[in-house]
Structures are given as structure tokens and as C-alpha cells.
Amino acid sequence: MQQIKYRIMRTIEKQLYTFDELNDKAKAKALEKHNESFEFFGGDEILETIKKGLEHFDFKLNNYSIDWTNANRSSWSIEDQNIGYDEDGDVTELAQEDLAEYFKNNTYYCVYQKKIRNTFEGNCPFTGVCYDEDFLDPIRKFITKPTNITFKELIDECIYNVLVAGEKEYDYQTSEAYFIEDCEANDYEFYEDGTMY
């Protein structure tokens, strides 16, 4: 005699909530889960700005390690391809007046407008992304008030300034405000305990 097995199906209904409708504990859990699987959006663009900015001023990025959570923990080395030598074979540096003048007259070819423009006009000249302007800000400050900084030191400041902007963007993308925007834009729903549906 063959025994027949029956499978009993049952339906369980669960209430779904928007992020706004969750209690504080569930919101904290939802944000924590989001940040555990978080992938930083924009890191490639930031790195591209640094590389293109360096290339524009005849520098090259050799090694780097970026910590998006803290720009001070990032490291990099650059190769200065602007180095000149005097007749004794010593490295020459542009005087601060010459360096400021070099920057004032610096141009780039704008692909979109098909014309040459001043690098510091605020048009994101390297990649078309706002981080280009972060790269240029220390140079703008130098043009306004020249100091004894060397070209290489100034370019290092440009890199650091971009990384600080990246750190701020990382902080924002892991914030509750960003997560709320993301939830609303994508119509995310959650179970009562904060687990995403």
C-alpha cells in the first residue's frame, strides 16, 4: 500500500512600510544594513579627476592608497615631469611670481565647445565632473595670494583637496539623509523590524 503525503500550503501576510513609517530602532537597523553592503558611488570619477588634473600640469600619479572615510589616511606619490636643470645639473624651480603667471595663462582645449579656454574659468576642464574644480581651488588661492610653495607641493594640495571632497561625499552617501532619498527614489519597502523587502 502506497502512502500519500500531503503538503499543506499556508499564506502569511506581513505588513510593509516605507522608511518614514518605521520606528527609530527599525530605521537604525535599515541604515546599518544599507551601510554594510554599501558601494561608494563616485570614487572612480574622483580618481579620474586626480589623474587628468595631474596630466594637465605634467605630473603623473605613480602609487596611491585612498581611504574614503578619512583623507588624512590616504597616501600617494607623484612624478614631476616639469623638472628642469640649470647648467650645473641642479634642479630648477619656478619662482612664485613665474608660477602664478604660468597658472594665469594656463589653458585647455574644450572638446564640447571646440575652442581653447582658460583652465580656471569654472568649467570642470579635466573630466567634466565637479571634482575638477576641487582640484583647481588650491591653485586659485595661490594665484590670488602667492606663497613660497613649490609647484609639486601645490599639486599635492590639489590632490588632498579632491580627496577631502571625496571623503565628504562618502560621508553623505552613508548618511541617513542620503538613504532616505534613495528609499524614496526607488520606492523601497521594509518589514516592521527594518529588513528591506
Using the structure block, give the residue that is written with the C-alpha cell 581651488: 137
3-state helix, strand, coil in the chain (%, to 5): 45, 15, 40
**What's at 89, amino acid-wise?**
G
Tens digits of residue pLDDT in 65-104: 999 999 999 999 999 887 665 566 554 566 667 888 889 8
Residue predicted with more confidence, 113 or 166 = 166
Tens digits of residue pLDDT in 41-60: 999 999 999 999 999 999 99
pLDDT of residue 7: 73
Residue 176, SS3?
Answer: helix
Q: How do 91-92 and 84-85 pair as beta strands?
A: antiparallel
HEC profile of 9-53: CCCCCCCCECHHHCCHHHHHHHHHHHHHCCCCCCHHHHHHHHHHH
Using the structure block, give the residue that is written with the C-alpha cell 523601497: 188
pLDDT of residue 81: 81
Total residue length of the chain: 197
Tens digits of residue pLDDT in 122-170: 999 999 999 999 999 999 999 999 998 989 999 999 999 999 999 999 9
